[in-house]
Amino acid sequence: MKTIQGPAIFLAQFMGDEAPFNSLDNITTWVASLGYKGVQIPSWDSRCIDLQKAAESKTYCDEIVGMLAAKGLQITELSTHLQGQLVAVNPAYDLGFDAFAPDSVKGNPKARTEWAIQQLKYAAKASQNLGLNAHATFSGALMWHTVYPWPQRPAGLVEQGFKELGRRWLPILNTFDECGVDLCYEIHPGEDLHDGVTFEMFLDEVKGHKRANLLYDPSHFVLQALDYKQYIDFYHERIKMFHVKDAEFNPTGKQGVYGGYQSWINRAGRFRSLGDGQVDFKSIFSKLTQYGYDGWAVLEWECCIKDPVQGATEGAPFIASHIIKATEKVFDDFAGTGADEEFNKKILGL
């Protein structure tokens, strides 16, 4: 067994226009003061990183790594959640997702997709230059508008959708393979990869690609009423990243999984700060340790009630208290008799 690394924090939800949230230098000084040891960096935020420059300049990457090391921090992973979303967008969502794209490709879905694919390829090389071995992203979605279909889905639609999704992602996965980096999809409602079954269908289309892996986030499974513990049993070999995020699901006689078009605070399913929701983190950390996960435990803060600074402040000790130092010995070794084939034969009556 191996020991999980942490605590770490995803910076995306904390970036802002005022110090200490307005630059990578400032915000990392702040998170280091809270006890974090790693940071996950949103690659679309120029206040944190210039992704293309990081892909093209090892010197630039070394400067970032050195700046963080001086504060006792490491980069855990880069994230392309927003760019990954744009690899596959159904036309029904064009207007909304154009907000994730630069002005030069807005209103041009083909150009937007090409831009997104290039961004992912930059991310692969940037990750390599930074010495990282995993990367976070979304799959995008061509079929999400049919997830609970009415009218019914026409025959072959799902198969064709996954075939196209695989066609778009396979060259990206190959680039990540060339760079020695695992591409980890956050399994998430709104994405075509939103549970175990859909991940398996995608995996079939990319021929079981060894770089097609998982970012495990139990909060999204709580909101789907999916067994997030058994999920680890099924997919632990592909879990290469871990978002520590809490959630709660309290259905009523008025609403359930779909939330009744309500705001986050009024939904049956809500994201919460660590320890305020229903996720059984003790079991999760135990299972991941049991299966030898040695990646980072990264706080992703999203809460509809608690202030983010309080959430981040409480998050570091919460994660640290759940990390299990993997044992190097069996607890009953003291009573062992050693290996002796002849002695074993006697016990077996042979």
In order of their start, the domains of the chain are 5-348 (3.20.20.150)
Contact present, 256 and 190 (Cβ < 8 Å): no
Contact present, 5 and 73 (Cβ < 8 Å): no
SS3 content of the chain, % helix, strand, coil (to 5): 45, 15, 40
The whole-number pLDDT of residue 329 equals 72
The whole-number pLDDT of residue 196 equals 98
Residues in the chain: 350
Tell me the C-alpha distance between 295 and 170, whole Å. Answer: 24
Per DSSP, which regions of 61-108 are E strands?
A: 74-80
Tell me the C-alpha distance between 187 and 261, whole Å. Answer: 22
The whole-number pLDDT of residue 347 equals 86
Per-residue pLDDT of the chain (350 residues; tens, 9 = 90+): 899 999 999 999 999 999 999 999 999 999 999 999 999 999 999 999 999 999 999 999 999 999 999 999 999 999 999 999 999 999 999 999 999 999 999 999 999 999 999 999 999 999 999 999 999 999 999 999 999 999 999 999 999 999 999 999 999 999 999 999 999 999 999 999 999 999 999 999 999 999 999 999 999 999 999 999 999 999 999 999 999 999 999 999 999 999 999 999 999 999 999 999 999 999 999 999 999 999 999 999 999 999 999 999 999 999 999 999 988 876 666 556 677 888 888 889 98
